[in-house]
Structure 1
């Protein structure tokens, strides 16, 4: 049930939950959502539900300690120090929980990493820091804080919502039109996941089965671009499904992707890619370190720390650290040297981005460093070390099989396509297309095992 693209979720959990949610009075909706979220997580990860509950209780208790020191319009120095100490203790405990489970996953068994733990912990850290900064305007009740931490549309893979974005004061709006808009977003996300990402995943799996040492250079580049599209529509699809569910339940839409492949630099790409995660690192790591308003040496240090943490956050292998380090280096070079040139010559920026980003995703995708070296030997055969491809004409077969998915993916990367949908989303033809996408997705789900979302165990 942990996957939104599973038949169990679509035809069992979700319909039953929605019927109960909209039947009960508004004052009980949060309780229903909290119970539903606990059930959702318990079915998917029954072993870790107690750890989830313990972390929730601990973070609420630590936040409450800060609220008790909030008395008075002007806080005393003693109050400020005590509140800061409470926040630091809570954040250290949260980071320790994440580090402990990450360590167990690396050194014992990968199954010991609870589903969505990183997203869950990041929301808790956000809650603690925003409480210290007095950005949470009224003291949350336990039910409100627990709901914020555990809401099932977001607990698996985000987006990382801030507490004040949730309307946990009970003033959310519910209506048929809002439900319809949310369901449309959910269907679009489902189609991206099932009809595009899962199909492109077969291409990457085929390359792994063949062996990277056996593929031609054109197919290696084709696979790199295919994996880039696969990851994008897998995660963008999930984000649209999660945000669509939230809109259906009365929350505001949270944008997590803004056509990153239309960017003109790596820096801009990651301002548009997984925006809530990028904003989290900016607000809770980068700016507290000093941000960009500092000397060049300090700027380099700040960016290096952020991207090193980003790499570690994304996975357990050394390749993720390399991936984060490469991106950090490229962004530092853009900041200090050629970023202005890319902005002044948009076409150059677009070409640079589309050439470099797929290469970084190859580092992200291949955890075995030896195989990673072989793949780059295929991408750049002049470097040698990869041997001779078994079938130099393999690109013809795979381009014929997957060209339709590449064309669809490229079209969806163009901002004008989304603008067209927003303008005409209530047109009968668009509605019929969405109905077709939904049932075609159901057909594919029922006739195949399906692929789990790639971010489930972050």
Structure 2
């Protein structure tokens, strides 16, 4: 079940909210846990058992870590943390990467592992990262061990961020899981955020995505330079509005339930360096890798050689996190090289350029990265990149480019403007009384228009659904 569906909007969500708010406070986490499992089981009933097993295993690990630490037994505490990490990573590897390794070895003539063809549990990359760092935080003293299995299970399975993030560390939400306050203003703001995210997904991402699909399916011989760039521009906007829209909906849903999640995107396409771009894009993932991988490896307080190693490890893992295909590893290493270059010398040079040039430099490199990210087949990827840089047979442009540009120009312009803080800035300049009148009208209009699109929709993909 996805947020941008009529089933969720007009059945699941109203029923859950109604039951949630008539349930006594002390029982709300239990009620929410059941609602979360129903939400997850709607799409993956087979893997509810796996999720429950993960919850119980990490809950027990956290209790053991807390007990050993209180007894001054650091060795057993470390062993409990290590066991939890190994278990979670083994599950993630088995379901997400086993077939990738097996098929790669087979391609090299080594028939060592069978391909299993298992479906990937929805959201496993998100909830695994949340659960396996819980014992780490307890060991570090950053969080108290959760005594209630129901409360811990509620944290792990929170349906607003269960299948697509943002990735929330237990220590960030521990107090809210145990006790949270409810305000009408918070609920109303949650509705506002949810409708903004829904509009991003339904009105922008879905419509722009059809342009990318057209260019992705185009034979290599028909790709032109301008057409290839137009296609990857469409994908960059589709991916941004798809994922940031889902994150906004998650934040909004959280507020409706009394939770406050951190934002996951901060207008990344206005960045003036690749490093800045990754401070603004998928913020929760970057924060997770920085805290649990980069800093434990030594961070930047090391020699240059070690710094390069640390960055390439982090970005290689960041790439693989996104999917079980080698193009994601290449994509991660691509950014690792760029960020390494900016940290060592390129960043100072870029900072000396005019701001417009910095923006062009960043967007150029990011757009190239999306071609690597979007195309899993290396042959197709190579042909598409060749077309972007003028090495394809289609020439500079063709009638198809003109047709697609004319057809999608209004949507592309709306998307480009919406990817900047322009509309937010204009909104904040409005008199407060005008905003109070306009806001509910705009929220209602956004919900009605998005619903109208969904009623007639035949195209409603979600790019991060199985990450």
TM-score band, normalised by shorter chain? over 0.9
**Aligned-partner SS, 2:70:** coil
Q: Tell me the SS of whatever aligns to 1:172.
A: coil
SS state at 1:376 partner: helix
Residue 24 of structure 1 pairs with residue 23 of structure 2: yes
Q: How many residues of Structure 1 are paired with residues of Structure 2 in the alignment?
A: 449
What is residue 421 of structure 2 aligned with on the other side? 415
453, 456, 461: which is aligned to 1:452?
461
Pairing 1:178-193 to 2, within 5 Å after superposition: 178-193=186-201
- Contact 2:187–2:255, Cα closer than 8 Å, also in 1: yes
The equivalent position to 1:296 in structure 2, one of 304, 315, 327, is 304
231, 234, 249: which is aligned to 2:242? Answer: 234
- 3-state SS of the aligned residue for 1:91? helix
CA contact (8 A) 2:226 2:396 kept: no
Quick check: 1:136 aligned with 2:130?
A: no
Unaligned runs of 5+ in 2: 104-114
Picking from 316, 321, 326, the partner of 1:313 is: 321
Deviation of 1:105 after TM superposition, in Å, equals 5.0
| Residues 115-154 of structure 1 mapped to structure 2, 5 A cutoff | 115-137=122-144, 139-154=146-161
Q: TM-score, normalised by structure 1?
A: 0.94
Structure 1 residue 63: Cα displacement: 1.1
1:174 alignment counterpart: 182
**Cα distance, 1:91 vs structure 2:** 0.4
Structure 1 equivalent of residue 8 of structure 2: 9
- In structure 1, the partner of 2:89 is 95
Kept in 2: contact 1:216–1:394 (CA 8 A): no
Q: Distance in 2 between matches of 1:390 and 1:297?
A: 42
- Is residue 252 from structure 1 mapped to residue 260 from structure 2 by the alignment? yes
Q: Identify which of 351, 362, 370 aligns with 1:353.
A: 362
Residues 391, 332 of structure 1: CA spacing in aligned structure 2 closer, same or farther, 3 A cutoff?
Answer: closer
1:38-437 alignment, distance < 5 Å: 38-71=37-70, 76=72, 79-104=73-98, 106=100, 107=103, 108=115, 112-137=119-144, 139-166=146-173, 167-168=175-176, 170-345=178-353, 346-381=355-390, 384=391, 386-388=392-394, 392-421=398-427, 426-437=435-446
**Residue 405 of structure 1: how far off its partner (Å):** 1.4
Shift of 1:419: 3.6
Q: 1:321 to 1:448 in 2, by over 3 A?
A: same
1:136-184 superposed Cα distances (whole Å, 9 cap, x missing partner): 1354311111111111111101101121322345331112211110010
Aligned CA RMSD, in angstroms, stands at 1.8
Alpha-carbon contact 1:104-1:110 (below 8 Å) kept = no
> Which structure 1 segments of 5+ residues have no match?
none
Deviation at 1:434, TM superposition (A): 2.2
Normalised by the size of structure 2, how large is the TM-score? 0.92
